[in-house]
Copies of this chain bind each other. A is one copy, B any other.
Amino acid sequence: MRHKTAIACALCLAAAVALNAAAAPAVPSAEEVAAQLRDAAMAGHDVAFSWVSELTSRFGPRPAGSANERQAAEWAAARLKALGFENVHIETFPITAWIRGTEHAELVAPSAQPLVVAALGESPPTPAAGLEGDVVIFPSFEALKAAAPGSLTGKIAMVSYRMVRMQDGGGYGLGFPIRADGPAEAARHGAIAFLMRSVGTDNHRIAHTGTTRYVDGRVPLPCFALSNPDADQIERIAALGQVVRVKLFSGASYADSHSQNVVADVRGRDKSPGVVLIGGHLDSWDQGTGAIDDGTGTAIMVAAAKLIRDLPHKPRRTVRVVLFGSEEVAQPVAPFGAFGGHSYRDNHKAELPTHVIAGESDFGADRVYSVALPATVADSDFSRAVARVLAPIGVLMSKEPAQPETDTGPSVEAGVPAFDLNQDGTRYFDIHHTPDDTLDKIDRQQLDQNVAAWAALVWLAADSDVDFRAHAAAAAPQAK
C-alpha cells in the first residue's frame, strides 16, 4: 500500500525536520507531525513486529489466569520501561481460570473416524469415561430452540450454522449467540452435550474455540466446536441416511487465579490532566499463540505510542497504553466478563473524568479502512484534519458511529467517548480462536499501516484541546 511513496515521503520529511532543527526552531503543526508519524510508520517501523514476535515466541499461548499470561505481563512491563514509557505498572485482579486439559472426539458409527474439536472456553469436563450419543443436527440456533421438549434426551445436540465471510466481521454476530447460549439451550432439551460448527470462515481441520456463558455460576453442559470440515463430514454422513454416533472426552478444569493489566504512559506537556486511553489485550486463547488475537493489538498500541514518545516535543495530553488481561473469558460472577476492562475502570474511577477519548485494537493486523469518531466531532476541524491525514493510507471516515469494545467498554459506559479504527476482517475469522493464530499469519505491511493510522490519530487527539465528551452518548459494550 503506497509503500515506496511512503518511504520517499518519510525520508523527505525526516530531512526537512532535520533541516528545520538545524536552521530554525519552527515547530511543525499538529497535522504536519501526524503526517510525519504516519509516514515513518508506513516506511517500516520495527517496534510492532518485534513486539509481537517476542511476545508470541517467548510465552506462546497466554490463557487468562495462566503463568504464561502473568510472565508475558511482566515481560511487557519491563519492555515498556526499556522503551521509555512512564508510570509503568501492573494491576492485578482475581479471576476464575479455565484449563482445557486433554480432549478428544471421534465418530463411533457408522465408521470409526477421528474428529477435530475444541472444547468451548469454560466448558465443564465430561465424565472420565467420556460421553457417547447419537447426534441430532440443527441447521440454525432457532431450530434447536424449536425442538420438541424432551426430544434430545440422551442425545448430542449439534448446531451447524455456517459463518458468512464479511469485511467487517458481521457474520460473527450471528455465530456468537450460538456459542454463548447453545449449551444452555441444549441442556434445556435434555441433551448430554453440545456440538457446534466452528464460528469461522476457513476450511481447515482446526476448531474455533471461544467463551460460552455461565448460567447460575456454571456452564450447563460439556460443549465443543467442530472444525468446519468435520461439521461437513457429519452432515454428509447424515445425508446418506446413517445415524451419526459420537464419543466426546474433555478433561477441562477450573482454578482460582489472577490476571493483570499493564499500564504505561507517554506523559503530556499540560499540567491539567487529560488522558487518551488506548489498549489491546495480552491474554489469548490456548490453542494458538495469540498473534492476531491480540498480540498485534498490543503491538500496534505500543508502537504507535512509542513513535509519539520519541517526538522532539510532547503532546498536550497523556497517551496511556493499557494491555488488558482476561479479555477472552467469561466469569461465573458479575460482571460475568471483561474483568480486565472492569478492573481498569474501577481502579481509575477518580481519574476517569480526565479520560478524553478511548480506543482499542482487537481485530487482527490487517489494514485499517475506516475511522469512526465520537458524534460530537462529526463536523469539526478535528475530524477534517483526521480525514486529511488518514486518507493517503486508505482510511475513510466511517458513516457508522464508534462502537465500544470489550476492554475499553466499561470506561466508555462510564462516560469516556470512544473512537474506532476499523480493520479489514475478511480473513480474521479464518484464524480467530484457533491453533492457527500464529506469527506467520501477520502481514507486516498491513501491520505497519495500522501503526501509521493509530500513531497519527492518537497524536492528533492527544495534542488537541477538543472536548470529545460534549454531547457524547454512552452505548452498551458489544461482547467479543
Contact = CB atoms under 8 A, between A and B. Distances in A.
Point out which of A53, A107, A203, A205 has the most chain B C-beta atoms below 10 A from its C-beta: A205
A232 B440 contact: yes
Contacts of A54: 240
Contacts of A203: 438, 440-441
Contact of A236 (B57, B67, B434): B57
A313 interface: no
Interface in A7-58: 53-54, 56-58
A206 interface: yes
A229 B440 contact: yes
B438 A205 contact: yes
A46 to B, nearest CB: 16
B237 A57 contact: yes
A438 B233 contact: yes
A67 B71 CA distance: 48
A90 to B, nearest CB: 18
Contact of A57 (B116, B205, B233, B287): B233
Contact of A59 (B58, B61, B111, B289): B111
Interface string A430-458: 00001110111100000000000000000
A289 B441 CA distance: 26
A173 interface: no
A134 to B, nearest CB: 17
A237 B439 contact: no
A102 interface: yes
Contacts of A232: 438-440
A440 B441 CA distance: 22
A301 B68 CA distance: 52
Interface string A112-124: 1110100000000
Contacts of A205: 206, 287-288, 434-436, 438
Interface in A67-108: 67-68, 71, 102, 104, 107
A410 to B, nearest CB: 30
Interface in A230-259: 232-233, 236-237, 240, 242
A280 interface: no
A157 B281 CA distance: 36
Point out which of A68, A102, A114, A439 has the most chain B C-beta atoms below 10 A from its C-beta: A114
Contacts of A102: 104
B113 A60 contact: yes
A61 B110 CA distance: 13
A104 B102 CA distance: 10
A61 B114 contact: yes
Contacts of A388: none
Given A71-B111, A205-B206, A438 B58 contact: no
Contacts of A218: none
A145 interface: no
14 contacts: A54-B240, A56-B233, A57-B240, A58-B237, A60-B107, A60-B111, A61-B113, A61-B114, A67-B112, A68-B112, A102-B104, A203-B438, A205-B206, A205-B287
Given A60-B114, A68-B112, A113-B289, 18 more contacts: A57-B233, A58-B111, A58-B242, A59-B111, A60-B111, A60-B112, A60-B113, A61-B113, A68-B111, A102-B104, A114-B286, A204-B436, A205-B434, A206-B206, A229-B436, A229-B438, A232-B439, A232-B440
